[in-house]
Structure 1
Amino acid sequence: MTLNIYEIFHPIIKILLTRINKNQEEENYKYIGFLLIYEIFRKYIDINKIYIKQVRKIKYYDVINKNKKYFILTNLSNTYDIINEIKTVLPQIYIIHVDYSNTEQIEKSIKDLEIDSEKDKILIVEKITKNNTIINLIKYLNKKKSLHSKDINIGCIISSEETLNQIANHYPQLKVYTTKIIYKNK
């Protein structure tokens, strides 16, 4: 089985990717990250319609299903510019800071986190996936929180082909959403 990689080709994302440089890097990551998270969550957020009968008409509202939880796990020191505006738009999303450089730090960050694998959605967000430290987090979620890799999604702006191959070897049912893949020179 192969890894599910979804490369997002939205025209605005592609324009912003070409403009990433030292002067505008944070601003561009902010917009790319926001659009990336939008693309990922539009498939997973469960919306319910609430109808309110009034005297002369019926009003309806779209609300997020409160029986489900949506978690973004990320190292905020690296991704704050990406995540910053998400809570404003979707206050129901739980943003959890996780230092996943090693297993002890992961345990310290999320040991008390309660996740229902049947209902809840997990998104791991990174700017650049270029090493295998993310595998530490996936392994922890899999073994200690009993989450199956098919229930975990990764959203990253730039992915390394080598890292994607390592993830695919360990967790082939995982879904990865990215805007650009950096291929190793052959």
Structure 2
Amino acid sequence: MPLNIYIISHPIISTLSSQIIYQKNDKTHRSIYNEMNFLLIYELLRKWITVKKIYIKNVDYIKEISIFNPKESYTLFANLEKCCNIIDHLKTLIPKLSIVHTDIYQDENYNTRIYYNSKKEKKLTNSRIIIIEKILNNNSIINFINELINKYNIKITSIKIICIACNNKVLELINKKYSNLEIYTTKIINI
């Protein structure tokens, strides 16, 4: 089965992603990055969040209320230093959202790894996982997904990745190991 890659091609998103990928870091860069993450999360959640409708019958009318499924919870893995401006906004929009700070680093053998605070492991077992990365350009994401699946028994269908751009070689590696994984991005690039 081929990897599920959703390339969001709205003209505004395409313009913003080009600014992020090809321009230097500055204050507007961070603002654009936060907006892009929010738009990509919106696209991801359109299909993923389930809403229950409750109908309350009164004497003269029927009132309809939409609520989130109380059995669903979400965990967002992201570098909070880079996307801190959207966190409060997401907490009000997404029910039962846990946030875990991640950071990419190289160990003593020059292997790239993703560090995260594993104290929230009890919440991970029944949670839907959203991973935010700016650019998928190394295989550390595969190691991270391996850890989530093997250590916390999370199903691959409960993990989704959001990134501004993806390296096509990394996508090929992900496809070999996790062909059911869904990735939301704006561009596939050759780095």
| Shared fold (TM-score, shorter chain, > 0.5) | yes
Is 1:121 paired with 2:131?
no
Percent identity reads: 39
CA–CA separation in structure 2 for the residues paired with 1:48 and 1:135? 34
Counterparts of 1:54-73 in structure 2, within 5 Å, are 54-73=58-77
Counterpart residue number, 2:41: 37
Give the drift of 1:74: 2.0
CA–CA separation in structure 1 for the residues paired with 2:169 and 2:150? 24
Is contact 2:56–2:62 with CA below 8 Å preserved after alignment? yes
Counterpart residue number, 1:13: 13
Counterpart residue number, 1:178: 185
Give the drift of 1:104: 9.2
Q: Which residue of 73, 80, 83 corresponds with 2:84?
A: 80
Counterparts of 1:126-137 in structure 2, within 5 Å, are 126-137=133-144
Question: Partner letter of residue 12 of structure 2?
Answer: I
* Gap regions ≥5 residues in structure 2: 108-112
Task: Count residues with an aligned counterpart.
Answer: 181
Question: Partner letter of residue 100 of structure 2?
Answer: I
Is 1:2 paired with 2:2?
yes
Counterpart residue number, 1:161: 168
Between stretches 10-19 and 122-131, larger displacement belongs to 10-19
* Gap regions ≥5 residues in structure 1: none
Question: Partner letter of residue 8 of structure 1?
Answer: I
CA–CA separation in structure 2 for the residues paired with 1:78 and 1:137? 19
Counterpart residue number, 1:94: 98
Could you say what the CA RMSD is over the residues aligned between the two structures, in angstroms? 2.4
CA–CA separation in structure 2 for the residues paired with 1:83 and 1:39? 17
Give the drift of 1:39: 0.4
CA–CA separation in structure 2 for the residues paired with 1:108 and 1:97? 10
1:67 aligned counterpart, secondary structure: coil
Is contact 1:98–1:110 with CA below 8 Å preserved after alignment? no
Q: Deviations over 1:144-183 (max 9, x none)?
A: 1112323311111111222222222222221111111112
Cα pair distance change 1:30/1:157, threshold 3 Å: same
